[in-house]
Structure 1
Amino acid sequence: MAETHPIPPKAARLPLNFDPAALQEDLAALGSGEWVAHFNTGFFSGDWSGAALRAVAGSANAMVADTHQGEFSDTTLLGRCNHLRGVVESFKCPLRSVRLLRLTAGSNIREHRDYDLGYDAGEVRVHVPVITNPGVEFFLDGKRIIMNEGECWYLDLNRPHRVRNRGESDRIHLVIDCQLNDWLRGMIAEATPDEGSESGFEPFRRLVLSESAMQEELGAITDRGIFLSHAVELGRKHGFDFLEDDVEAALQDARRKWMERWIA
């Protein structure tokens, strides 16, 4: 009988750790021209860019992670980054795209799903934070996951997720797309699950559901932009810290659940 492995949680810290100072040294090998703007321009505001370490045909300018575009191979940039190459070589599984992804201060990646990634699909994405700060907010399924420099994280990015860098410095992650094999399944099985913490919007939402006056106040607003800004203002009056993006994500999630209910 074939060996079976438990289905992993939505987020888990793998039993791998890397020296963030050494990884940050490798960033000096990157010139400003080697950072390429992310192709999904509709998914973000601000500056979201990347540098390819492993890409289709080994092209350092290829940011597409789609396996249908061709075969993946190391880029010349990876050869100049000894410490990052050591991280990549520590993965004893077939690798596809490997990128450094940079989200500058004040930038925002809107909520989305990566439908081509998933444990059941046989391909997963791993994140290794190289540079981060306390102002980075990564939400997966509405829960905030805090990833520290040098850690290694498995994330189920088939689920809704979004990122906002509210700090004053860049957030740079090494992002590795891996094909599942027994080694990686074993690493995920040994990982430390993290259920995350809810955003400031969730307790505010519960307060609104318990207060008819607040429901009427918000329900009377028909303009979406005004609704978003007023919800944030009302939340702050009651001591809750969240952004318009959090409200928008909640509206999208409610709409998605409604559609799934009726489609099913």
Structure 2
Amino acid sequence: MDDDEVRPLHSLSGQVAQLHRLDASLVERLRHEALTAPAPWKSAYGEYQSGGWWTTSLMNATGDAADVTIGDCTARPTDLLAQMPTAAALLADLGLSYMWVRLARLEANAFLWEHRDYDELDQVERHRLHIPLHTNSSAFLVTGGTKIHMAGGRIWRLTPTFPHGVCNLLGPDRIHLIADVYADDAYQHLAHRSQTHPASVEPLPPASRAELAERLAAARCLADLGYVDAAEQLLLRLFYAVAMPEGTGYDLIADLHTALGDAEAATRWKAAKDKLLARTAR
């Protein structure tokens, strides 16, 4: 490895895969339902996002679509799913054991920051499935130092125990149906129809130490002008542009605040790194 490169610590293998292909007319009906149903969109987990990320539940523990804080349960349909017959029929046809099913909407110029999910995977095997319904080429997932546009027309599997993040740079809104499911025979049947190397994959260039230092200096200039939030986001957005070891963006923000003489903020961002990259379900 070049001494000037700062490489990520893990590869793409096992993190994301394309599964079952869906009929185009079915996807269009699902998209229409997602765009027109009276969904009670809720913003949750604010510390994990830039703003602009909204969810609403189709299956959960309570049957209330506005209940979006995910927890382990045997999911039941919500009042919203009752108004989305195409989605309800697809979920029934798949025959999976659902923990939680939701719609997730990411607006233009919005980010889900680098994080990981699912502390319980060591106890109960479960998987996260994505069905893209409304998307664009500037909306992509980053995992394993790789940029992946989750294109429509398929069910995708994401293994969210690896650090990952999502962005939608230009819009329009990105809307996915996301199902957290328990491992069973129905899931194994679906998983066997997988393409482990999706076509829409682009490795990010490894970050150089000089590039990280330059970005940190630019953030310091913003902070000195009073734009501290913008400085922090400038560093967090590095995750979507270059491949870096886990948590590098958070470390850079802590370094920024240390240089500014704000020990409390530096400690807060170190704690944020520990929380966002710990294995906790959300």
TM-score bracket for this pair, using the shorter chain length: 0.7 to 0.9
Q: Is 1:24 aligned to 2:15, yes or no?
A: no
Separation in 2 of the partners of 1:148 and 1:188?
18
Unaligned runs of 5+ in 1: 1-7, 230-242, 260-264
- Correspondences of 1:1-264 after superposition (within 5 Å): 9-18=14-23, 19-31=26-38, 34-37=40-43, 39-67=44-72, 71-116=74-119, 118=121, 121-194=124-197, 196-199=201-204, 202-203=205-206, 205=207, 208=208, 214=210, 218=213, 225-226=219-220, 244-247=235-238, 250=244, 252-253=246-247
Separation in 2 of the partners of 1:121 and 1:251?
28
Identical amino acids, percent of aligned pairs: 23
Separation in 2 of the partners of 1:28 and 1:218?
43
The answer to which of 246-255 and 12-21 deviates more is 246-255
With normalisation by structure 2, the TM-score equals 0.69
Give the aligned residue type for 1:218: A
Give per-residue Cα distances to partners, 1:198-246, cap 9 Å, x unaligned.
22xx24x2xx36xxxx47x938x876823999xxxxxxxxxxxxx7434
State the aligned residue count.
Answer: 222
Unaligned runs of 5+ in 2: 1-12, 224-233, 252-269, 275-282
Separation in 1 of the partners of 2:113 and 2:89?
32
Separation in 1 of the partners of 2:192 and 2:216?
48
Separation in 2 of the partners of 1:125 and 1:77?
21
SS of residue in 2 equivalent to 1:15: strand
Matching residue of 1:234 = none
Give the aligned residue type for 2:236: D
Question: By how many angstroms is 1:28 displaced?
Answer: 4.6
Indicate the structure whose relative CO is greater, using CA pairs within 8 Å and at least 6 residues apart.
2
Give the aligned residue type for 2:96: C
Separation in 1 of the partners of 2:95 and 2:186?
7
Question: By how many angstroms is 1:115 displaced?
Answer: 2.6
Give per-residue Cα distances to partners, 1:130-165, cap 9 Å, x unaligned.
100011021112211221123100111110110110
Are the aligned partners of 1:114 and 1:158 in contact in 2 as well (CA < 8 Å)?
Answer: yes
Are the aligned partners of 1:46 and 1:106 in contact in 2 as well (CA < 8 Å)?
Answer: no
Separation in 1 of the partners of 2:222 and 2:17?
32
Are the aligned partners of 2:107 and 2:172 in contact in 1 as well (CA < 8 Å)?
Answer: yes
With normalisation by structure 1, the TM-score equals 0.73
Separation in 2 of the partners of 1:46 and 1:246?
14
Separation in 2 of the partners of 1:104 and 1:246?
16
Separation in 2 of the partners of 1:74 and 1:87?
13
Separation in 1 of the partners of 2:221 and 2:123?
39
